[in-house]
Every structure is written in C-alpha cells, then in structure tokens.
Structure 1
Amino acid sequence: MDPHLLTTFVTVARHGSFSAAAAELGYTQSAISQQVAALEADLGLALLRRRPVEPTPAGRRLLEHAEPLLLRLRAARADVLRTAAEPRHLLRLAATPLAVNPVVAARLAEARARQPRLEIRLRMCRAERLAALVAEGRADLGLADGIAAPSDPLRLPDAGPMTTTGVTEEDLVVALPAGHPLAGRASLRLADLIDARWLRTPLCPPARLRDLVGEGFPAGLEYEGDDVRTALNLAAAGHGLTLLPASAVPAGGGGGGGVCAVPVAAPRLVHRVELLHAALPPGAAADLVAALSG
C-alpha cells in the first residue's frame, strides 16, 4: 500500500468529508477522490461509503493498522534526521498534565542552572499524543504520567524504538468532599469506593481504575480538561471522586477547603512519571535526560 494514499484515506475518514480532507492536505476534492479510489482498487475493497462519508467494515479494519503504520514512518524519518542534526540549546519538552511534579520541576531548575544557555520549551499534551510527538521529532523529550503498580512501567502507545526511564513514583490520594462519610479515614481501600461516582477526566479515567482494580467505579460528571484545581472544585462540590498524586493536592485540601485527601492503602498503586525519548546525540538533550532521571 502506498503511504501517500493511506494518509489521504485516514484524513478523509477522520473528517468524514472529502472536501475537508482536500483543504487539510492541499489537494482538490477530485484528487482526493481519485487517491481513495486508487487505494480501494489496490485492495479490491470498498473502504468508504460516500453518503454519508464513513468507513466500511473493511475501512474500519484498515484504520486500526493505518495510524500505527503512518506513525512508524514519521518516526523513522525523524529518527534519521536526528542523527544528522546539529547540537541545539533549545529543547522541546512535551509533558502530560501531572508529569511536572515538584521533583521534576526542581530537576529542571538544576539542569538549567548547570547549563545557562539551555532554553526549554514546555508543551502540555494528552497521554495519547505524547509518544507520537517524540517519535515524530516534534518534541525532543517526553514526560508521561499515570497510575501503575510500584515499579511497573506505564502503558504507552507503540511509536517505534523509544527509551523509557522511570523518573518518580509517589503515593496516591482520593480527593473527596470534606463532608463525605469516609473523609476522616487515615487511609482507604479503593474497593470501598467501587460504587461511588468518579469524575470522568483525563487526570484519572474511571476505565483505568477498572483495569487496575476490577469492576465498579461508575463515572459521574465528565470533565474534559486537565486543570487540577478545577477537578478539586468539582470533587468538593460532590460531582465525583478523583484519584491524584499526593503532591497535586495543596496542603489542607483544595477547592476552598472543601476537599479531603485520603491516602490509598490498597491495592498498592503509585503515580508514576516516565521520561521517553528516541536516540539522542551527546549534548544538551542527553544531559537533560541524565538530570531528570536523577
């Protein structure tokens, strides 16, 4: 399959529109239609229904393969170009919402103090985009965070050859309203809360809790942002519980004093931060990796 045609197909399927795909890729709508038709002719299968524009069963199956394949191609190109790149003092760091905890921030400050010419451009993104940004060369380094068993690696998308290193692990707390019946506990088992309503948020998706603990954890209010203070305010108002690293909850709680943070005793889970990067030549990026890895 021609990667060029595959890119066109993925773009049309994502937009659900030939004209929108044409605008994004810089072709005429007729050229987009011809490219999709050429891919369908190559496979001998219809991949898109035209009215409305949506993938056929064969098209949906191809999409499952297409995104990882195209990512690997972009990653290969970026990796080759990196080997010939000149040393730079501007580093692009991508991070998920809770990855830059106090320990990471302090290590960044120490690295900058040792390298006065070092400039860091920090970009926040969702976990599902992080590995792709690093693999495609749009970020030099990535910091990912998530919930895991102690010393277990995070589950990150396959984006080609990538080095991952553990940076920090810290305890988790349940953020619940100050008036909650369990707010006065010294610690909690998540099993005690499987029937409680949880905020549906990228900071702590209920689906991830189900993966780690089992059934339960019904979702309450859906919050699509990743601002910790907003999540704490929602928890304080009773919209749902959430699980956060201990360092993310200010002393005395949050949300105007309406939140109580109770440590999680069982199962033994931690909030983990990992550093990921492709091959790095000696220089500022490699030095920053060493600094962040502690």
Structure 2
Amino acid sequence: MDPHLLRTFVTVVHRRSFSTAAEELGYTQSAVSQQIAALEADLGLPLLHRRPVALTAAGERLLEHAAPLLLRHRAARADVLRSAESPIGQLTVAASPLACTPAVARSLSQAGTAVTLRTAEREKVVELVASGAADLGFVDGISAPSDPLRLPDAGPLTAIGVAEEALVVVLPGGHPLSRRRGLALADLADALWLQAPAAVSVERLREMAGTGTFRVGFRYDGADLHTVGNLAAAGHGLTLLPSSVAAGVPLTAPRLVHRVEMLHAPLAPGPVRAVAERLGQTI
C-alpha cells in the first residue's frame, strides 16, 4: 500500500474535505481525488462517500491501521538516515510532563551538548522518537514495581527504566482522609477524581482497582502540574502524583509506582548513542 496515498486518505478524513486536504498537502483537488480513487482501486473497495465526505465501513477499518502504518514508514526512514549519523550539534529530547524528574533534569545537564527539551503526551513522545523528530524520549506512567510501561507499537524502540518512586494521593486541605498514613485505591472508588493527561486518567484508575467506579469531578486538558495541584487543593477532584512532585497521603494498595523510561530507536555508533548510554548510567 502506497504510503503517499494513505497519507492523502488520512488528511481527507481529518479535514472532511477534498479541497481543504489538497490545500494542506500542496496538491490540486483533482490530484487528491485521483489518489483516493487509486487507493480504492488497489483495495477493490470504496473508502469514502463523497458528498458529504464520510467513511465507508472499509474506510473506518483502514483508518484504524493508517496511523501505525504511517508511523512505521517514518520510523523506517529515520532509522536509515540515523545509520549515517553526523557529529551531533544539538540533542533533541521529548518528554511527557511528569517524566522530567529531578534526576532526569540533572542528567540532561551532563549530556555534553546543547539540549532542546520538548514536552508532549506520552503517545506523542513515542511517535517523535520513532520518527526521528527527537533523538531521545522520556515517558512516565503508573505500573507495578519493575514492570515496563505499556507503550504504543511504533517499531523497534528500546525502553530503559531509569526511575521509580512512590505515589501519593493529593487531597484538598482539610479533607478527612488527609491525616491517614496510607490510603488504598479501592477505598477511594466513590470519590470524585481529576481527569488530566498530566496525571492519572480515570480509566487507568478503574483498571488498576478492578472496578468500574471512580467518577470524574473535573476535566483538565493541559499539562501544567501546578494547575493540577491547585485543582486538587480546591476540591475539584483527587489525583495521584509522584511523591517528589506533590504532598499527599502515600498510596499503599495496590502496590504501584510512578515509573520513568528512556526511549531511543536503534542507534549506530556515534555521538547520540554515546549520550544515550551516558544518560542511562547517570540517572
């Protein structure tokens, strides 16, 4: 399947317009129509209704596969280019909001070169590293001690655990549970929780506790941790954060930790590989 045709298909779907997709891709509208027709001819199935633009059943199935396929294509290109690596001038690092722990931050100061740090959600960090847009990535999440994080499949990436720390339940001031020495997640299933990508999602809480409760009290789509802490302190919902980030009551059950992993694609001998190995040893 031609990745150029697949990219055009995804753009048309997201823009819901052949003309807008053509403008974004730098093609004529006729060229976009021809590319969609060529993709449909290759598969032998209609993928889009034209007026208005809408997915057919076959188009919906193809869209599910499109993002991983295109990412794999970019990852393969990046891997080939990486094999002819030139001397490093600047290290580009991508990190999810809670992945840049004090230890990670200190290690980056020892990289021996200029560093540009880009913050993104965990799935986006994986994509940036796989596609070559970032030399290294740091991702965080909640797991059992020593268990690897579950990351999207984006080709041959190496994930190295570099930090684990305790989790705390962040409560508003004066909360009746704030004097506890420890809290079990199951005891908080009926409480209101913050839904924030920078912290733990309510869906993940339900999975970890094995229950379908846990109610969303407030939704915050940003990544600023001060805002997360302020919302929790104001009583908009509870949240889980690493103990180095916020004060709270330790989570005692289930046994979970906040884990950080360093990601990199296959690296040929050279400056970036040396930096990755050095960081892995110093964190």
Q: TM-score range by the shorter chain?
A: over 0.9
Give 3-state SS (helix, strand or coil) of 1:177's partner: coil
Give 3-state SS (helix, strand or coil) of 2:133's partner: coil
Task: Give the letter for the 1:212 counterpart.
Answer: M
Q: Write out aligned runs for 1:158-197 (5 A).
A: 158-197=153-192
**Structure 1 runs of 4+ with >6 Å offset:** none
Task: Give the letter for the 1:233 counterpart.
Answer: N
Shift of 1:48: 1.3
Shift of 1:288: 2.5
**TM-score with structure 1 length normalisation?**
0.91
**TM-score with structure 2 length normalisation?**
0.95
Which range moved further: 53-62 or 183-192? 53-62
Please give the alpha-carbon distance, in whole angstroms, between the structure 2 residues aligned to 1:149 and 1:277: 23
Task: Give unpaired runs (5+ residues) of structure 1.
Answer: 254-260
Aligned to 1:229: 226
User: How many matched pairs?
Assistant: 279
8 Å contact from structure 2 (residues 85, 270) kept in 1: no
Q: Write out aligned runs for 1:1-294 (5 A).
A: 1-109=1-109, 111-112=110-111, 115=112, 118-202=113-197, 203-215=199-211, 216-249=213-246, 253=247, 261-294=248-281
1:99-124 Cα shifts (integer Å, max 9, x gaps): 00111112222x24xx3xx1111011
1:240-275 Cα shifts (integer Å, max 9, x gaps): 1111111111xxx4xxxxxxx111000000000000
Task: Give the letter for the 1:195 counterpart.
Answer: D
Give 3-state SS (helix, strand or coil) of 1:293's partner: helix
Please give the alpha-carbon distance, in whole angstroms, between the structure 2 residues aligned to 1:240 and 1:146: 20
Between the two proteins, what is the percent identity of the paired residues? Answer: 61
1:79-131 Cα shifts (integer Å, max 9, x gaps): 0000012121311000000000111112222x24xx3xx11110111111111
8 Å contact from structure 1 (residues 174, 263) kept in 2: yes
1:142-179 Cα shifts (integer Å, max 9, x gaps): 00011111111111111111111001000001111012
Task: Give the letter for the 1:137 counterpart.
Answer: G
8 Å contact from structure 1 (residues 204, 242) kept in 2: yes
Task: Give unpaired runs (5+ residues) of structure 2.
Answer: none
8 Å contact from structure 1 (residues 167, 292) kept in 2: no
